[in-house]
Each structure stands twice: as C-alpha cells, then as structure tokens.
Structure 1
Amino acid sequence: MSIATQDYNAKDIIALEGLDPVRKRPGMYIGGVNSAGLHHLIWEIVDNSVDEAMNGYATEITVTLHKDEQTITVSDNGRGIPVDKHPKTNKPALEMVLTVLHAGGKFEGNNYKTAGGLHGVGASVVNALSKELIAVVRRGGSQYRMTFERGIPTSKLQKLRGTVRGTGTTITFKPDPTIFPKTTFNSDTIRARLETASFLHRGVKVTYNDEVAGKKETFLHENGIVDYLGKVIKERGARTIHDTPFTHRVDDKERMEVTLQWTESTDEHVRSYVNGIPTANGGSHENGFRGGLVKAVRNYIDTHDLTPRGVKMTHEDIREGLIAIVSIFIAEPQFQGQTKDRLNNPEAHGMVESHVRSSMEQWLNNNPSIADGVIARVIAAARARAASRAASEAVSRKGGSKRTLLPGKLSDCVSAGKGKSELFIVEGDSAGGSAKQGRDRNFQAILPLRGKVLNTESATLKKILENKEIQDLIASLGCGLGPNLNLAELRYDRIILLADADSDGHHITTLLLTFFYRHMPALIADGRLFIAVPPLYRIDIGKETYWAADEPDREQILAQHGGRAKPEITRFKGLGEMMPKVLWNTTLDPTKRRMLKVEIDDQIETDKTISDLMGRDASARFHFIMDRAEDAEEIDV
C-alpha cells in the first residue's frame, strides 16, 4: 500500500512534452493497445492518403504488409507532405507533422475540403508508438527521406540524389513491442478495410501487397457503395425482396451517398462512414438516416391508407431486414474520441434525414411494385413482433413470482441478484454435476445445458423462444432479450461459458456466443460475458502438477519443466470426469482460474465472421475452411 504525501506543490506537477503523452497513455489516442489499437495505426496513415484522394490530389494508394508481418508501408501519389522549413520553428514541415501533436494542414479550409484526419494527431501518434518509422516524400522532382525511433528523429531531413517523377508520400513503420503486447498484423483485417475504402471512394485505385502470402490485389469500384451493398448482402447470405436498390447521391455542397435494400432477414444491418472512416457506433448521420427512412415509409403508408386493422407498426418493423450503406463527407467532423467511431455533428442529422426522407418517398411512389413488397414486409414484421413479444413474456420472470419461474435444473447461488455473483453455463449434466459440487454456492450458480444449443443465426425468433434450453437460459438471466433487454434486472454480475476444452466444446461455446451477440449484445458491451478456460491436459512432473489449456500450452510447460523427471500426461475427455476439487482449483476458483472476456474489437468484422460461420450459406464456411486448411496441423475429431 502506498502512502500519499501531504506536500503537494508545483514541483509535483508533471508536464509531458512532445509525444510523451501518447506513449504514456496510448489508449487516449488509439483506443487501446489490443489488436484494434494496433491496426488503428495503419488506418491513421491510410486516412491521410485517402484525404489526398478525396480532395482530388491522389488517385492511387498502396499498402504493403512486409514478410515479418510487423512492418507496414503506406504510399500514395498525392502532393507529398511539405518539406520546407516552418517559419516559426525553423524545422522541416515533415518533422513537425510527425513529431508534434495537432500539427497538420487540415485545420484551415484552404488545403482540404473534407478530411477524415482532422485531429492533427494521426501521423505523429503512429510515429510515437513505432519502434521505427521512415518517411519518404516526392515533391518538385526531388525525393526526401527522414527516419525516426519512438517518435524521435534519428536523422535530419535528407534530400536524396537524382530526380524523380511525380509526387507523393511513403510511410514505413514498425509498432513498438514495448507498447503493444502483440505486434503482428492480421492480413484479412487490412484487406477488408482497404477494399471498403475503394467502395467508398469511387475511382481511387487501392492496392494491397501482402508479401507474407505473396499476393497483390487491386481494388477499383466505379459504382462505389452500390457495389459494396451487393457484396454485403452476398456475404450475409440474405435474400432481397426487391431487385433494384434504393440509391441517393448528393455531390454538391453537401456530399452524401446512401444505398439500401430490404431482405428477408430478421435483423437490421447498417454500415455508416464519415469521410471514409467507419463509424461502428453510428452517430448523428446514422440517426438521421433512420429517422428519414422511417418518416418516408410512414408517410407512404398513411397516404395510401395501407395500415391493416389491429396492426401497430413500429420503427423496428420498418427497418427489419434492412441492409444499408450510409456515407457522408463533411468539412469539420466532430468525432467522439480519437478512434472516431461515432459522429457528434448535430447538423449531420438534419442534412441526412431531409435528403433520405424526400428521396425515399419519391422512390416508393415511382416504384409501386417495389413499395408493395416493402410494405408487405413491414406488416409481416409487425405481426411477427407482436407474436414474439407474447412468447417472450411467457418465459420472462414477473413480479413476486420470479423465484418460482426459475428453471428447475438451475443451481442458484445465495447472492443471486447482488454484485459479484456468477452464472456458469455448463455443457451437459455430468459436467454440471461436477461444477455444482465444486463451486462456491455463495456466489456461483450453475446452469447445465443438454446437448448442443440451437444455432440462433439461422433460426427465427419464434423458433428461438420455443427452444427449451434457450428458455431456461433467458429465465435464469432474468433481463429479457432483444430490444426489451434491461441490464438492471440481470441476476448475475458475470455470465461465464464453461465447456470442454476440445473442438466439441468450442462449437458449443460458439453457438452460445452467437446467441448472445445477436440477441443480448448489451451483455457483451457492458463487459458481463466471459469464457472459462478449463485445462485439456494434466501434467505430473515429479511431485509437481501443471495444467495445460491446449497443445501449445502443454509444449511450453514441458519445455520449461520437463527435464527434471519423466512427465505423466493425462488428457481430459471432458469436464464431467474432473473431480469437483480439481474443477474448483483449475477453473472455478477466482484466484487461480483463467478466463477470456468477450469483447468486440471490430463490429463489422465480427458480424461478417458470425454470418459466414453460422449462417445458412454453407459456401462461406467451405471457403473459410479451405483457405485455412494448411494452417491446421491436427484436427480433433
């Protein structure tokens, strides 16, 4: 325990200078040092190149993942970062852009009409968090080079020999391993982001050079987000109810693009962007889109008197099955946080809403056959919602009878409904029996599930609510699901998925994750969902016992301790064969156990992965398996 001194004077105030604040608190600038934060470094540099393209100064962007999987190069044929000396600091402008926070050419409206990187911190943050960074600029027929290490220049600005054609900027950087626990980039993540950029910026050629896989791809989409919409619909395996998508473009003072189609899916899927930057958490532009859409459809229904008797249509009914892309470009975006995942500009709401409302009304009136199909879809959704609400109420706990409606197989804990309580969702009755005996019943509850849970990705809500295992799960949690979920009524502080450490257990965990992601996403967003990591192997070496979660863990233990005596290795067939005391010591005891917290780093990538792996379209799973077949050294069957 540290004791604070009573003396607190000016000498105690620490003023971080230069890029020190970035290295001390990287999460303030890139959201964290996890995988999402690591890849955010690429997006910051790519956004600068995209800004050049958006404003008509660049036509090509190339990103290279080098063979070490830890080094990235981003190059464009824009104007090139200025290299002349700044009048106030007498330093090259390139050095200022890469070493000074809030130094850039986007604060005044003369150089960029619209830009994604308006904080003026992107390039300097990447430099601060890089073990090494090399900047090469082509301007005025000459080429210039400057190097940095952890944000500090390691060379002066050098004018290289010879003349060069064209202009542009090339940034090569390698993340600092003292900042990031893992510095290996994911090629699929990079590729997906670059392909999206090519959709959002029609006519810009984006090339991805993956040196690890020896592949080079070029993305160029003249139809922009209309092509993007088709790709998203295909990826999600959704069947559209009309062939021609709604598309609205404004390329005047206000620049925006919207395209959408209604499908037979039961969920709504909107991808929104501001100046080419994905806004995973939406914001004013996305709210404006939804408001304009709902008002247009309601006006059409009211004008043509299409509301059936006894049917009450909500905005959720109107948007059910909708897949849409919303992209706007504004001069001064106000993002929520440096990671730019939510737009706060209030004027964007009104601008998008008015455009979408008037254009959608006109589209519906000009396409009566499409409009008829859309309205029929909305009415069907309203009726289905009313039916599912009744079914949901049947499995919800009500008033004073909450305890009596809990499922009989739930072994509840003493402190249910209070802080620090835990619910373990366990695979099978035998494992549930061991868990019940091994747990601390004061704060740990056990819910065993029989067999594999229903795949909720390809099931209707009505079918989901009729499933006995899902009913028991919903009743045990007590907080409802979907739009009716209320975190205040959740009976446990943590929900922990506990399945065998083999492939069968992983499948069951995936099925449960799919259910929570689609129907109880608030539990994930609030940090309530965890995955237990039980051991797959017991390793006895002399008098010492070690527990390994998987094969790599086993090999590491053997490498560290195997030389002392001949190891005895036992592979568990399942949790059910573990003695209760062993299960407590390895998996249930909060002081010893290992758990994974379920978090969403990339909403779009997560949605796509679940849709591919768990959806109706088997071809997506086939391609997923075939693409990764060489990576599988051993298949556990």
Structure 2
Amino acid sequence: MSTYQAKDIQILEGLEPVRKRPGMYIGSTSSTGLHHLVWEILDNSVDEALNGHCNHIEITLHGEDEITLKDNGRGIPVDTFRKTKKSAMEILFTTLHSGGKFQEGNYKVSGGLHGVGMAVVCALSESLTATSRRDGFEWSQTYSCGQPQDKLKKGKATRNHGTEITFRPDPKIFPKIAWNVKGILEQAESKAFLNKGLKITVHENGSTHVFQYPEGIKDFIQKITPAGQSLTPEPLYVEKEDKQLRLEVAFLWTSKTDTVIHSYANAIKTVDGGAHESGFRNGITKALKAYIERRNLLPKGISSVNGDDVKEGLVAIINVYLQGDVEFQGQTKGRLNSDITSQVDSVVRHSLEDFLNTHQTQGDILANRIILAAQARIASRQAKEAVHRKSNVSHRLNLPGKLSDCSSTVREESELFICEGDSAGGSSKQARDRKTQAILPIRGKILNVETATKDKILANQEIQNIVSALGAGIEPHFNYEKLRYGKIILMTDADVDGAHICTLLLTFFYRFMPRLIHENHLYIAQPPLYRIDAGKKTFYAVDDKEKEKIVSKLNGAKYEVGRFKGLGEMPSVDLKNTTMNKDNRTLIRVTIADDQNTNVTFDKLMGKDAQNRFKFIKEKAVFFQDLDI
C-alpha cells in the first residue's frame, strides 16, 4: 500500500508553478498558448493607450522564435520596490500577482487585472529583455525562465518614454515555436479598430504593416461585411459613457442566415461572450419586438418574434470599457462576468427604438427581415422535428436504413465514417472495426447548403440521414449532449470529385453543426491514391508528390504502381490498413482558426455570387500548372 505523507507535499516557489503547469496560465502549450504570450504584452501596451498615455505600438518579428513589442507609454517603473531591495521592474517580471492595476488611479481602464501577464511571459521565455524609457534614461534588465540574469542597468539619457520587451519562448515548454504572422496581423488590426486613432505597426520579413482607424469599430464592421450585403446604408452605431462604463456598439443586418458577433471588454476579445453580449441581444430583441407590435406588422400565423429570429443575419461588434474591478472568467479572459447586462440592455434598446421610430422606412426593412426569419422558423419546425432524433440506443429503429452502426454505446470511442456511395460503403463495412466504427454511405454530392433555402435543406434525404445518425439535431436546436459519436470522419475518394463532396459536407457542418468543429469532433480521412509494390514491400501514397518521393527512395529497384479508382474499388484490406485502422491511419482534424475569415471564405467559394469564385480562380490559377479535372 502506498503512503501519502508530509514529505510528499511539494511547494512551488516564485514562478515554478507557471513552468510546472503552463496550461493553467495560458490555456495550453500549443500555438494558441504560444501566441497568448504575445497578447499579454500587447494588452499591457493597449492598456497604456486606453488610459491616454500611448498612441503608437510597434511589433517586430525576428525570425520564427523571437519578437519585440514596443510602445510610447509611460514606461515600466524602475525605482526600488518599497518592501524589497529589488527594482519595481524586476518585481513585475518575476512575481505573480504584482502590478499597478490593483491600485485605483493608476489605470482607469485595463484588460490585465490579475497581475500575472508579464511574469508568466517571463517564466515561459528562454530569454527576455525589458527596456523602460522614463525619468530621462533607458533602463534595462535581462531574464531567463523567470530568473534575472543581471541587475537593472541604467543606460543612455533619452527624452523618449515607453516600454520595449523582446522575448524568445522556451522550446522546453513549447514543442513548436513558429509565429502565426497572419494571426498577429489580425490581432494588431483588431486592437487598432477598437481604439480610435491608435497606430499599430508590425514589421515582419522585410514588410511593414500599419493599422490606424479614425472611425474605430465603424470601420471594423464595414470591413467584415461584404459590400452590398447590409440592409441599411450605414451600420447602426451606439456610444454611451458614464463614470463606470463606456459602451460602443456597431451592428447591422444582412439577408444571410448566419450570425456574426465580435465582443470585447477593455480591448480583450471575449470569445465566449458574457454579460455585454447578453445585454446587447436582450436590447435589440426588445426594441424590434416593440417596434413590430406597435406598427402592427406581424402577419397571420405569427404571434410574436423571438431572440433567434432577431439575431439571424446579424453582424455586430460590441466593445465595452469598464472601470474598477472587471470580472473575467479565467486567466485567458474568454468571458466577461461583470454585472452589466441590464445597463447594456437599456442603452441599446433605447438607442435602437429611437432609430427605428425616426427612420421608419429602414425600420420596416429590418422588421420584415426579422419577420421572414420567424416565418422560416415556424415553417421548418416540423421538418426539424422529423430529423431530430433521441440519442438513446434503444431507439435504433429511427436510425437511417443505410447506416451500419457500431455496437459500442460509448461516445468517446465511437466513430462515424461518412463515405460516398454504396460501393464505398460496402468496402468500408468490410474494413471497419464493428465495435467502434459506424459507416454511413451517402449518395454522391449532397445539397450545397450555402445557396439553398432552409426548407429545402431540411427536406434533403442525405442531410436527414446525417442528422439522424448523429442524433444531436441542427442549429439553432443542436443538442451537444445527444451526439452519438466522438469522431465524425469524412472519407471521400482521393480525387477532385471526392474533394468537392468533402467541401459540401464541410459547408453543411460549418453552417448547421459548428460546435462539432469547435469541440474537435470533425475529421477528414486520408485514403491513398496510389499503391506501390516493390518486391515484398508495399507502400501507399496520397498524391503524386508522395508517390515520387517513395519511388525515388527505391534506388532503381523494380516496382509497380497501381492507382485506386475510388474507395469502392479499393480492396478492403488496403482500406483498413491505410485509412481506418487507428494504429496506421492519418486523420486531418477540422478546426476554425478565425470565424470571421472562415465565414467570408464559405460565402465566397460556396455562395450564390459566381463572380467571387471567378475572381478567386483567376487569382489562384497562376499557382497551378496541372489540375486533375
């Protein structure tokens, strides 16, 4: 029997907890966590701008593993900390929960309130050099893995002021260090959008990018909304400020069915929403319901509109600045918990009501848009119920007839392979593990949901089969708890037609089951296109490039190359060994790095406007010499 005594208890000192459990402070050690280090330092500079002390921030990427962030704010304090013989700078970089944001008066508004950002970056950096320009001099100190490498140095005299931090993340903590330039540019641009007039310059690979927007989020919403889609000439804009709260909202409606909401609190993106989003949605719903009822615009058969109707086609940016204690959920600040729902609700509702009543022509256009959504909701209710089934395995009779289900009832180990055609379905059934792998063949290319009406989508037999097999329904009534499979794997032929079917399926899942993607349930199989036999050895290649690479390594040995016409023509033993066996296969996990760009991409490539695709093909054609068409 093992013992558990006082000697087994470990106390982590200083920044040891950060290095021991980095995920607690930055979410993970993946690319997301790596870039969280950058956002922590950037947010400090933005806080200086929010409080009127800084108007220019510079970001410089040095290769793939080092970065510098510089601002012209007040600079980090360098005088001796009152309780120690160390400088204030050293305390800030080496001590958790230290900072100037706990004391009222130093920062009226701030996104970093926990006092751990700079110390966490320092702890997880192989090297970090901080320079503070203030009090007429440059002051600098170097750190490594949270430990100072020298004492604070007083440098040359200067009239400039501000902070400059250069750091290199620790490869012992992060398995892969590579800056996502696109992500950094987007983050810099969003910070510039959220702070009117703030200039942010990014230097990378010999290029310089400057972001500065005098109209702030009004410029932002016009950028993310494709030209001609807004139902009003200008986005609606609300701004309100009092002693505790400054609220800034820009929003509009389009004829699209998807909703795009970007919310921020003290210039921090709240990816999980929170009180400000709830208040905003409540406010616009109350205002539009009151306007529609007052104008007696509801047609027969509709008693009222609801929040889902109001948010359909909505594009909004919500930006709040709070003074005093701001309550975020977690160190990564994904959700705002501060109790401001009723304040935001009131401001937005009264502002929108005033606009609707003074611009009745535009008000009626928006009202009709909401009523149309209500009509579609009511008309499709029966169809939704028809495809929405309970996940309890005792209801197997409700499953699609073509589904070859697995015997396991444990979601985490169960997999659903969606393949094209009965022939591929037959091969897959022979190759599968019956306990954990289910097979659902679909007939050819499913409906393009980006261009079809909701009624037509819900009436489509192939889509009904997919929804019934998964058991969780579709948005806005998707029930994650009833999902029957831990992995949904798109397994199509390794050719152009297969890629097209895969794209149509991705479009459906993105529009109607986005949580499957956000929760890492959706994957794409990688079946081989070629089989290379060389003596007793067999190799597989997913494309021409991999085939040539394999052949080049055979050193002149005799070989035969066979090309698979499709999954239906592939021997089940090959399909099992290369694509379905969990020990040998390669799966591509479908993720969404940026909802805004993903939404625009689907609209461009799968939407009704063919000109967008024509333009895309013209721009990209130069990169392709040989196409398998």
SS in 2 for 1:318: helix
Q: In the alignment, which residue of structure 2 is the partner of 1:431?
A: 424
Q: In the alignment, which residue of structure 2 is the partner of 1:155?
A: 150
Structure 1 window deviating more from structure 2 (130-139 vs 40-49): it is 130-139
Give the alignment partner of residue 177 of structure 2, picking from 173, 183, 186.
Answer: 183
Q: In the alignment, which residue of structure 2 is the partner of 1:86?
A: 81
How far apart in 1 are the matches of 2:309 and 2:551? 57
1:553 deviation in Å?
Answer: 6.3
Q: In the alignment, which residue of structure 1 is the partner of 2:306?
A: 314
CA displacement, residues 48-99 of structure 1 (integer Å, 9 cap, x when unaligned):
1100000000000111223x23322111100111122212122122222222
Give the alignment partner of residue 30 of structure 2, picking from 28, 34, 38.
Answer: 34
Give the alignment partner of residue 461 of structure 1, picking from 454, 457, 461.
Answer: 454
1:349 deviation in Å?
Answer: 1.0
How far apart in 1 are the matches of 2:134 and 2:618? 46
Q: Is the 8 A contact 1:480 1:486 kept in 2?
A: yes
How far apart in 2 are the matches of 1:141 and 1:309? 74
How far apart in 1 are the matches of 2:89 and 2:551? 51
Q: In the alignment, which residue of structure 2 is the partner of 1:262?
A: 253
1:635 deviation in Å?
Answer: 5.4
How far apart in 2 are the matches of 1:79 and 1:555? 59
How far apart in 2 are the matches of 1:416 and 1:468? 25
Pairs within 5 Å for 1:218-367: 218-234=210-226, 239-253=229-243, 254-312=245-303, 313-331=305-323, 332-345=325-338, 347-367=339-359
SS in 2 for 1:483: coil
Q: In the alignment, which residue of structure 2 is the partner of 1:52?
A: 48
Q: In the alignment, which residue of structure 1 is the partner of 2:580?
A: 588
Amino acid in structure 2 at the alignment position of 1:412 = D
1:620 deviation in Å?
Answer: 5.9
How far apart in 2 are the matches of 1:344 and 1:489? 28
Give the alignment partner of residue 525 of structure 2, picking from 520, 528, 532.
Answer: 532
Q: 1:588 to 1:318 in 2, by over 3 A?
A: same
Amino acid in structure 1 at the alignment position of 2:280 = F
How far apart in 1 are the matches of 2:623 and 2:129? 33
Q: 1:551 to 1:251 in 2, by over 3 A?
A: farther
How far apart in 2 are the matches of 1:582 and 1:567? 18
Give the alignment partner of residue 470 of structure 1, picking from 463, 466, 469.
Answer: 463
Amino acid in structure 1 at the alignment position of 2:150 = S
Is 1:101 aligned to 2:101, yes or no? no
Give the alignment partner of residue 189 of structure 2, picking from 171, 187, 195.
Answer: 195
Q: Is the 8 A contact 1:280 1:604 kept in 2?
A: no
Is 1:20 aligned to 2:16, yes or no? yes
How far apart in 2 are the matches of 1:308 and 1:350? 31
1:247 deviation in Å?
Answer: 1.0
Amino acid in structure 2 at the alignment position of 1:363 = F
Q: 1:78 to 1:392 in 2, by over 3 A?
A: same
Q: RMSD between aligned alpha carbons?
A: 2.9
CA displacement, residues 22-63 of structure 1 (integer Å, 9 cap, x when unaligned):
222221111112222222221111101100000000000111
Runs of 5+ unmatched residues, structure 2:
none
Structure 1 window deviating more from structure 2 (414-423 vs 52-61): it is 414-423
Q: 1:215 to 1:281 in 2, by over 3 A?
A: same
How far apart in 2 are the matches of 1:25 and 1:453? 46
How far apart in 2 are the matches of 1:62 and 1:416? 54
Q: Is the 8 A contact 2:224 2:596 kept in 1?
A: no
Is 1:138 aligned to 2:133, yes or no? yes
Q: In the alignment, which residue of structure 1 is the partner of 2:506?
A: 513
Give the alignment partner of residue 71 of structure 1, picking from 61, 66, 78.
Answer: 66
CA displacement, residues 535-587 of structure 1 (integer Å, 9 cap, x when unaligned):
3454556644444555776688789x756967766554433332101211222
Q: In the alignment, which residue of structure 2 is the partner of 1:121?
A: 116
Is 1:165 aligned to 2:159, yes or no? yes
How far apart in 1 are the matches of 2:559 and 2:93? 54
With structure 1 as the length reference, what TM-score do the two structures score? 0.90
How far apart in 2 are the matches of 1:119 and 1:558? 57
Q: 1:367 to 1:546 in 2, by over 3 A?
A: same
CA displacement, residues 303-357 of structure 1 (integer Å, 9 cap, x when unaligned):
3333333213221112211111100011222111111111111x22122111111
Q: 1:85 to 1:258 in 2, by over 3 A?
A: same
SS in 1 for 2:139: strand
Structure 1 window deviating more from structure 2 (147-156 vs 54-63): it is 147-156
Amino acid in structure 1 at the alignment position of 2:424 = A
Q: In the alignment, which residue of structure 1 is the partner of 2:477?
A: 484
Structure 1 window deviating more from structure 2 (489-498 vs 280-289): it is 489-498
CA displacement, residues 590-635 of structure 1 (integer Å, 9 cap, x when unaligned):
3333334434454445444444444445666677677777877975
SS in 2 for 1:62: strand
How far apart in 1 are the matches of 2:393 and 2:107? 62
Q: 1:209 to 1:292 in 2, by over 3 A?
A: same
How far apart in 2 are the matches of 1:616 and 1:321? 16
Pairs within 5 Å for 1:520-559: 520-540=513-533, 543-549=536-542
1:439 deviation in Å?
Answer: 1.3
Q: 1:446 to 1:17 in 2, by over 3 A?
A: same
How far apart in 2 are the matches of 1:41 and 1:556? 38
* Paired positions, count: 625
Q: 1:563 to 1:41 in 2, by over 3 A?
A: farther
Amino acid in structure 1 at the alignment position of 2:72 = N
Is 1:205 aligned to 2:196, yes or no? no
Pairs within 5 Å for 1:375-394: 375-394=367-386
1:255 deviation in Å?
Answer: 0.5
Q: 1:89 to 1:505 in 2, by over 3 A?
A: farther
Runs of 5+ unmatched residues, structure 1:
none
